[in-house]
């Protein structure tokens, strides 16, 4: 027989609550605030967790945050348990609380009219729906019974409450009951399924959605708004791993979370129940991640859960944002003060900068319930803006806003994906005027060939990303440091796909990668040894971030400078030591390792040649040479490229030197030429050399806002993306990227175009081939040699403005007539 709702007196409720006190379960006390470790609720010796969350934005004086907590002496979620609702101010100050009267209470909380609350209490046949005022005064309770399995679920449409319940194996159906604010059942929908168990439910104007299960099958069911008719029944067993994932309706689509092992993802259906798509897989998560989702005012979908480490242990509360096309946009996490197992169970999104989450946090001995406010894409005033493009006068700009500086860190290329070439920029921010070495928010931006932003992902506050590399097919590999500078930081090697969705991450214990490269189907890391180690290490991972091997660099040089890898995986490193006065110093060592990192093939002390300068990227391979970008300071700033044999690392020579030019980054192009980004009197520029190495040409940024170059990526020998820093609004700095063309420049000794003569109007004219700007700067007349007089001049050619450095110098000899 179907159970009917029954009203309960408050006196009966109090008697039930007393039985839990007798079991030794004391009611918790609250602490906050939301943004500084979270508002924590904990009772000594008990396992506490936040199950549900409601934010009241309508009542005067708000917004107010209501959280239902469950406390138990057993494992989280077990019985006997006590439920509590706590009311907070918007900052996390606890204003009032009420203990719930029925066992296993507080697992579902929903908004009612006039700021009131509906809360689910009890379990099975003792299931109860209660209503409380905005001040947590009890307004009434009604029992409705659920004879088979688990705690019923509950939601609301802001006025009526809807509960799911089962009605026993003999009646073989699941029911959905709608209750009015006076707790009178106003409608009931019945779904017949043998041995059915009710799951989650969601209400929207088009109907009521129910998740239900029977044995190993799972079904998504839709009722009409008045529950009088069943609209569809879709078997989602193969698509959704549990009937406890909550549906979310956005426009004309239904979204459901799902997961498998340490992976989670979102599914998409239309309003008729037809399956239409899936997001990328988010790896490295705890079980039950993405059971709860919320729609943000920006139209994006926010899903909550927890990250994990080896063996599936919960690590941090996790929030991931997706657009309605299931592209991952950004992530944020919360790490409790004890740096233990934290997990999120519910969330409400007021803005991308105000995401309230509740769940559990480890306190060192057991679990406390926690409520925190997280931010995606913005932290402490950061609000990234993306403007311009490669064709714009100043380039593609990234601003932080709010009195903050934005910095460009790395740029990498993807020339293998159709529609490219694409460029990926690693950026970060800091308080205006502070060092770029300590970013408070980091991110990655993807640009099309014209510099139009295609996607971006910003990481959670206090994250540091650097270095970064790509496999050339749209996958990005990056060192990611969570909780950077907090004393609880964790280092990961993370992988992001072409849409900048994170696909997987591997925690790096005891490693601090300073550079990484992708080659031969592997990711190679050069990790710094720090002040206490004798050496650096090189690590190798496959493209799914499984560890394959490692090798130690030579002793005596624990400071990692740079790493490069050839196509077969043969690996080269440049390392040095630390000193008390500089970050690096002699000895400087070059080392070469085989692709599997099982043996050292060569090692060379290059201290007599390499100076103390440390450009961002210092190594490049071209032909039979290994090239080192070097920079020395003194009476003059000198820049040059040294060449070593890539076979035995023997020194073979160097380029000419430039003065007044500070080099930043070295790379090789597709034709074997070498490209150097740097800064000088003419501003940010790129110099090109051949593999001897001899200077060939240069190109400079023609912009009044550029301050400096920071990195470069070469699409080809004449097509590069230069990353830098520029002046922005209100005196703040911006990250900037520009696409430059390196025009061909005649190599020394190549033919010049000559016209005219000394005795005609216009004189004897010379022009360098390749679109250069030319001028003659010196003249010498030889009147001694027979056949003369002969005239000698020096022709200076440059691809920049007339007189711009560095020019190509050509010695020219004229006959007597010119």
pLDDT for 14? 34
State the Cα–Cα distance between residues 477 and 273, nearest whole angstrom: 37
Under DSSP, the state recorded for 180 is: -
Under DSSP, the state recorded for 650 is: -
pTM: 0.57
State the Cα–Cα distance between residues 526 and 536, nearest whole angstrom: 7
pLDDT for 72? 75
State the Cα–Cα distance between residues 426 and 479, nearest whole angstrom: 11
User: Residue 328 in contact with residue 501, Cβ under 8 Å?
Assistant: yes
For 503-544, the pLDDT digits (tens) are 788 888 778 888 999 999 999 999 988 767 788 999 999 999
Cα torsion 551, 606, 468, 409: sign: positive
- Listed as ranges, residues in the chain with pLDDT below 50 are 1-31, 148-149, 310-312, 377-382, 439, 461, 580-582, 635, 745-751, 806
User: Residue 722 in contact with residue 728, Cβ under 8 Å?
Assistant: no
Cα torsion 594, 600, 605, 611: sign: positive
Write out the residue limits of the CATH 2.120.10.30 domain(s) in the chain. 6-374
User: Residue 375 in contact with residue 404, Cβ under 8 Å?
Assistant: no
Architecture of domain 6-374 in this structure: 6 Propeller (2.120)
Burial call 214-249: b when 16+ CB within 10 Å, e when fewer: beeebbbbbbebebeebbbebebeeebbbbbbbbbb
């Amino acid at each position: 027989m179907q159970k009917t709702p029954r009203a309960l007196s408050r006196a009966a409720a109090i008697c039930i609550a007393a039985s839990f006190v007798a079991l030794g379960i004391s009611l918790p006390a609250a602490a906050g605030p939301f943004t500084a470790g979270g508002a924590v609720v904990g009772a000594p010796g008990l396992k506490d967790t936040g199950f549900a969350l409601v934010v009241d934005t309508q009542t005067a004086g708000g917004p107010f945050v209501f959280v239902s907590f469950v406390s138990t002496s057993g494992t989280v979620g077990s019985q006997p348990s006590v439920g509590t609702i706590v009311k907070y101010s918007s900052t996390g100050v606890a204003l009032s609380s009420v203990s719930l009267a029925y066992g296993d209470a507080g697992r579902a909380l929903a908004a009612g009219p006039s700021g009131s609350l509906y809360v689910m209490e009890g379990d099975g046949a003792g299931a109860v729906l209660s209503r409380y005022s905005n001040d947590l005064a009890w307004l009434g309770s009604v029992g409705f019974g659920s004879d088979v399995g688990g705690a019923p679920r509950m939601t609301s449409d802001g006025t009526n409450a809807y509960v799911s319940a089962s009605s026993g194996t003999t009646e073989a159906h699941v029911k959905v009951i709608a209750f009015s604010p006076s707790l009178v059942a106003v409608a009931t929908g019945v779904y017949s399924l043998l041995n059915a168990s009710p799951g989650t439910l969601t209400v929207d104007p088009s109907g009521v959605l129910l998740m239900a299960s029977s044995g190993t099958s799972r079904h998504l069911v839709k009722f009409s708004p008045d529950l009088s008719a069943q609209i569809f029944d879709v078997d989602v067993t193969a698509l959704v791993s549990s009937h406890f994932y909550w549906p979310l309706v956005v426009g004309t689509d239904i979204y459901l979370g799902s997961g498998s092992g340490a992976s989670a993802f979102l599914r998409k259906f239309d309003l008729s129940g037809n399956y239409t798509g899936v997001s990328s897989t988010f790896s490295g998560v705890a079980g039950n991640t993405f059971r709860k989702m919320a729609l943000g005012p920006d139209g994006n979908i926010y899903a909550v859960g927890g990250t994990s480490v080896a063996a599936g242990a919960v690590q941090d509360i996790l929030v991931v944002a997706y657009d309605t096309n299931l592209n991952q946009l950004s992530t944020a996490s919360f790490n409790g003060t004890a740096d233990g197992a934290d997990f999120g169970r519910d969330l409400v999104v007021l803005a991308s900068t105000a995401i309230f989450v509740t769940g559990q946090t480890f306190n060192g001995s057991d679990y406390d319930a926690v409520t925190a406010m997280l931010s995606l894409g913005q932290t402490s005033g950061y609000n990234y803006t993306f403007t311009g493009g490669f064709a714009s006068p100043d380039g593609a700009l990234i601003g932080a806003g709010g009195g903050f500086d934005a910095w460009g860190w790395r740029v990498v290329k993807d020339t293998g994906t159709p529609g490219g070439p694409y460029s990926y920029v690693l950026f970060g921010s800091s308080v205006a005027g502070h060092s770029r070495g300590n970013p408070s928010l980091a991110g990655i931006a993807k640009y099309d060939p014209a510099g139009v932003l295609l996607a971006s992902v910003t990481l959670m506050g206090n994250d540091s990303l650097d270095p970064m590399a790509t496999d050339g097919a749209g996958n990005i590999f990056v060192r990611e440091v969570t909780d950077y500078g907090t004393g609880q930081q964790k280092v990961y090697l993370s992988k992001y796909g072409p849409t900048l969705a994170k696909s997987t991450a591997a925690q790096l214990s005891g490693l601090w990668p300073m550079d990484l490269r992708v080659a031969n189907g592997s990711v190679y890391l050069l990790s710094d040894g720090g002040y206490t180690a004798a050496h650096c290490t090189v690590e190798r991972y496959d493209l799914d971030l499984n560890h394959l091997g490692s090798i130690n660099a030579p002793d005596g040089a624990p400071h990692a400078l740079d790493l490069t890898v050839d196509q077969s995986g043969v690996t080269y490193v440049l390392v040095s030591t630390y000193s008390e006065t500089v970050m690096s110093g002699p000895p400087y060592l070059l080392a070469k390792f085989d692709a599997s990192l099982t043996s050292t093939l060569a090692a060379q002390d290059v201290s007599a040649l390499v100076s103390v300068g440390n450009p961002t990227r210092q190594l490049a391979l071209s032909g039979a040479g290994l090239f080192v970008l070097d920079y020395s300071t003194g009476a003059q700033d000198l820049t040059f490229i040294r060449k070593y044999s890539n076979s035995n690392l023997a020194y073979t020579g160097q380029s000419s030197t430039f003065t007044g030019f500070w080099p930043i980054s070295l790379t090789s192009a597709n034709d074997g030429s070498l490209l150097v980004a740097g800064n000088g009197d003419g501003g940010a520029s790129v110099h090109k050399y051949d593999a001897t190495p001899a200077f060939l040409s240069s190109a400079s940024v023609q912009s009044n806002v550029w301050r400096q170059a920071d990195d470069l990526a070469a699409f080809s020998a004449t097509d590069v993306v230069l990353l830098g820093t520029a002046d922005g609004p209100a005196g703040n700095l911006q990250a900037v990227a520009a696409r430059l063309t390196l025009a061909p420049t005649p190599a020394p000794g190549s033919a010049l175009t000559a016209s005219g003569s000394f005795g005609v109007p216009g004189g004897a004219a010379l022009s360098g081939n390749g679109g250069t700007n030319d001028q003659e700067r010196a003249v010498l007349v030889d009147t001694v040699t027979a056949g003369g007089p002969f005239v000698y001049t020096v022709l200076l050619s440059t691809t920049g403005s007339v007189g711009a450095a560095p020019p190509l110098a050509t010695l020219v000899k004229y006959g007597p007539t010119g």
